[in-house]
A = this chain, B = another copy of it.
């Protein structure tokens, strides 16, 4: 049996699992020869095909041919497009356990640049291997389809929120989303290191850096969070959630 299929039912679920290969969404790819045996698990944690990317280095350039899928092991990435004016438009972030490139599976071309926000380790899964195994194993095809479907729903949700939410609501959504992806246990308060700077948050949310900073200050004044630079602690996720879902009817 394939670990990924058994252990993980939702994106959120596998995001909370990290370091162990056996918990990786595409575990079966890294152990292609052990697919039918239990011995695969013995290879766990061996960091096959693992690579390092320094802060600021690009993993992928826009339009580049899809050679491999990438799974973040530690650190973080951002994806962005360049507008006709040369401005960066950030399309998303990747954290440990998340897969870069599935949306390029059909066109076999990456859309958008991918760059490291900090020193980042990742696994490299040749797309040839992936496709070869996809043909052989229906379970993997299910997995791909799931990742694609869930990616659509996620993007659509983000779209909804950015279109209809105020600056504070957007930031609240953003913080809850990121914290959910970075922090394992979700109890009352949570603390994490935010590798994304204010400028990128603003870009991602369709706001300006000033507005983002003001929203942070407002949350801070209300005691909802503690934010000194990149260290964030959410003190009252419940309150943030109620701000986050306060949709403006239009």
- Interface residues of chain A, those whose CB is within 8 Å of chain B, are 81, 83-85, 87, 89, 91, 103-107, 111, 135, 138, 141-142, 144-146, 148-153, 155-156, 158-160, 162-164, 202-203, 205-208, 245, 247, 249-250
In the bound assembly, the distance between CA atoms of A203 and B250 in angstroms comes to 6
Query: Within the complex, what minimum Cβ distance (angstroms) separates A29 from chain B?
Result: 17
Contacts of A202 in B (CB 8 A): 250
Q: Which residue of B lies closest to A146 (CB)?
A: B106
Q: How far is the CB of A55 from chain B (nearest CB, A)?
A: 23
The 8 Å CB contact of A104, one of B83, B111, B149, B208, is: B149
Please determine whether B206 and A103 come into contact, CB atoms closer than 8 angstroms: no
A138 touches B135 (CB 8 A): yes
A163 to chain B, nearest CB (A): 3
Nearest residue (CB) in B for A153 is B111
Contacts of A111 in B (CB 8 A): 153, 156
Cβ contact within 8 Å between A149 and B105: yes
From the candidates B84, B148, B153, B250, name the one contacting A145 in the complex (CB within 8 A): B148
CB contact between A163 and one of B103, B146, B148, B162 (< 8 Å): that residue: B162
Residue in B105, B144, B160 whose beta carbon sits within 8 Å of that of A89 in the complex: B160
Q: Do B159 and A84 have beta carbons less than 8 Å apart?
A: no
The answer to whether B107 touches A149, judged by C-beta atoms less than 8 angstroms apart, is: yes
**Which residue of B145, B156, B207 is within 8 Å of A91 (Cβ)?**
B156
In the assembled complex, how far is the CB of residue A172 from the closest CB belonging to chain B, in whole angstroms?
Answer: 14
Complex A-B, nearest 10 residue pairs according to Cβ-Cβ distance, in ascending order: A163-B206, A148-B148, A106-B149, A87-B249, A106-B146, A83-B247, A155-B155, A103-B152, A159-B159, A89-B160
Having A83-B164, A87-B249, A89-B160, one finds 12 other A-B pairs with CB under 8 Å, namely: A85-B247, A87-B247, A103-B152, A104-B149, A107-B149, A135-B138, A151-B152, A158-B159, A159-B162, A164-B206, A203-B250, A208-B250
Report yes or no: A205 in contact with B163, Cβ–Cβ below 8 A.
yes
Option from B89, B91, B249 in Cβ contact (under 8 Å) with A85: B249
Q: Which of A103, A148, A202, A249 has the most chain B CB atoms closer than 10 A to its own CB?
A: A148
Name the residue of chain B whose CB is nearest to the CB of A162: B163
